[in-house]
A and B are shown apart, each in its own frame.
Chain A
Amino acid sequence: MNWTAIWAIYKFEMQRFFRTLMQSFLSPVLSTSLYFVVFGAAIGSRIDEVEGVSYGAFIVPGLIMLSVITQAISNASFGIYFPKFTGTIYELLSAPVNFLEIVFGYVGAAATKALFIGVVILFTAQFFVDLTIAHPLAMVLFLLLTCLSFALMGFIIGIWAENFEQLQLVPLLIVTPLIFLGGSFYSISMLPPVWQTITLFNPVVYLISGFRWSFFGLADVPIGLSLLAIAGFTALCLGFIWWIFKTGWRIRA
């Protein structure tokens, strides 16, 4: 392993983040507050509790997931797309590094940024609702795995994208709807039976359910299944990336 190279990529990517730290910090604080005002106040006044948890608290895990997933994808996809766009990818391709090292650097940085946002949201939420975390270790594990796996997915999108529109396409058309329909702001059990079944095909359901379980001890699907889903998704992304570098798909002539 060329750790120096991984560290060089990681640091380079993080520098951009630190240059805009204020912005990186303020935007999740602001959007979280807005969600609490809109969802918590407006809807929460009608829905008191979901399965014994106050609605305001109930949406926190979903809110974190929503931001973390979006951030992980956009940071990672942009991080690797930009060198392709500017042409600086030549340096990555001619450097004595293998695909794992490149992925560790870029995906690691993107996951770190997403994690940072997630933590900021968690703390912001404390100002609005009482939160106790039932299974802190599981919570951290889910959060880390989500940051990582979606950063991997973002990396793939960044390699695949041939222009800025395509870069936005997958997050906009697929990921965001899946998150919203994945029970971020409601419990699956609140849906009519048919929709409950359909929803089970949405992979994000397993994530959010597992993450919420780590907070409140309640889940839509068994926790083991949630872990399996996120682990499987991570493996899938890794396998795809391995194939990309093996074949040079979209990066090497």
Chain B
Amino acid sequence: MTAILTITDLKKTYDDGFKALKGVSLTIERGEILALLGPNGAGKTTLISTICGMVTPTSGTVTVDGHDTQADYRAARAMIGLVPQEIALQPFETVINTVRFSRGLFGKARNDAHIESVLRKLSLWDKKDTQITALSGGMKRRVLIAKALSHEPRILFLDEPTAGVDVALRKDMWDTVADLKADGVTIILTTHYIEEAEAIADRVGVITHGELLLVQDKETLMAQMGKKQIEVQLGEAIKAIPESLARFDVKLGEGGDSLVYTYDTHGERTGITGLLVALAEAGLVLRDVQTRQSSLEDIFVDLVDGEPA
């Protein structure tokens, strides 16, 4: 794969002196989906705004498919579609006019077939002649997405695309994102929903306090940082953990009829064999065995908590 977006040591200090980005470097591969996670105020929107042209960077460079976003902004911006976090639409326009406007603004010739397919995909076609004021919040968000897709971008930024969107629609949105990826569109999205990143991202980046803590393959991230647990259901409840099991990191479950063993999938040895042997030697009868893997959410909370505020 080749890089489509290269961010080098990007810094942004706002006029009031606040350092919102403290030197972010990131390379995004063509056709991937990158999810940016981070608490409120981490700098996600600032990062996107700086790439897209709403915020002037204090220092650092961004290139889009080789085009510098400052020196060669026309070529760079023509490739980018942006769905902002805040819903911003002209209230008295119709859906179709707003979407057509976006396409024209990006210099693309009128193409009604494309606009229709975008609106249909986002279930907005029957609302095409409706005024924006008469739409629900979730519909307005989809209009923003339609605007961004109207000019056939190669890179799509989605700043919290599913905030305020119901569960069914969120799944639709994920499908749309998957379709776009299939068409070769590179997608960068921010979200507070970890299951969203887990469901659709190829890579996950974590930002806090204007710094990119890590960017990693989602699978690798979960495998590396993820802890696994084995829960053993015992045939009979016990009062205390037998002495012979002391060398294992086991805890007695509630009610005394289960044992929970935490291990690192990343480690050389998981210790599972030893544990099972020790259990048998201690004369414990196993009724059932379950394994659990920690989610991105657990990893995320660990990471962000570990950061000094």
Which residues in A have some Cβ–Cβ distance to B below 8 Å?
Answer: 2, 4-5, 7-9, 11-12, 15-16, 82-83, 86-88, 90-98, 248, 252-253
Q: A91-B147, A253-B15 are in contact. Are A86 and B90 (CB under 8 A)?
A: yes
What B residues does A252 contact at CB under 8 A?
Answer: 53-56
B82 at the interface (CB under 8 A from A): yes
What A residues does B88 contact at CB under 8 A?
Answer: 86-88, 90-91
Select which of A9, A16, A82 is within 8 A of B105 by beta carbon: A9
Distance from B132 Cβ to chain A, minimum over Cβ atoms (Å): 10
Contact between B80 and A94, CB atoms less than 8 A apart? yes
| Total inter-chain residue pairs, C-beta < 8 Å | 85
What B residues does A95 contact at CB under 8 A?
Answer: 77, 105-106
Select which of B74, B93, B105 is within 8 A of A8 by beta carbon: B105
28 contacts between A and B (CB under 8 A): A2-B107, A4-B107, A4-B108, A4-B109, A5-B107, A7-B104, A8-B104, A9-B101, A9-B105, A11-B104, A16-B92, A86-B90, A90-B82, A90-B88, A91-B82, A91-B147, A92-B105, A93-B52, A93-B53, A94-B53, A96-B106, A96-B107, A97-B105, A97-B107, A98-B74, A248-B56, A252-B55, A253-B55
Closest chain A residue to B101 by CB distance?
A: A12
User: Max chain A CB contacts within 10 Å: which of B52, B73, B90, B97?
Assistant: B90
Give chain B's interface residue range (CB within 8 Å of chain A): 35 or more
**Alpha-carbon distance between A11 and B103 when the two chains are bound, in angstroms:** 13
Which residues in B have some Cβ–Cβ distance to A below 8 Å?
Answer: 14-15, 49, 52-56, 73-78, 80, 82, 84, 86-93, 97, 100-109, 147
Select which of B49, B89, B108, B109 is within 8 A of A253 by beta carbon: B49
Given contacts A12-B101, A88-B89, A94-B53, 5 further A-B contacts (CB under 8 A): A82-B90, A86-B89, A93-B52, A96-B77, A98-B74
Contact between B78 and A96, CB atoms less than 8 A apart? yes
**Alpha-carbon distance between A94 and B153 when the two chains are bound, in angstroms:** 12
**Alpha-carbon distance between A90 and B54 when the two chains are bound, in angstroms:** 6
Q: A95-B77, A97-B105 are in contact. Are A253 and B54 (CB under 8 A)?
A: yes
Closest chain B residue to A248 by CB distance?
A: B56
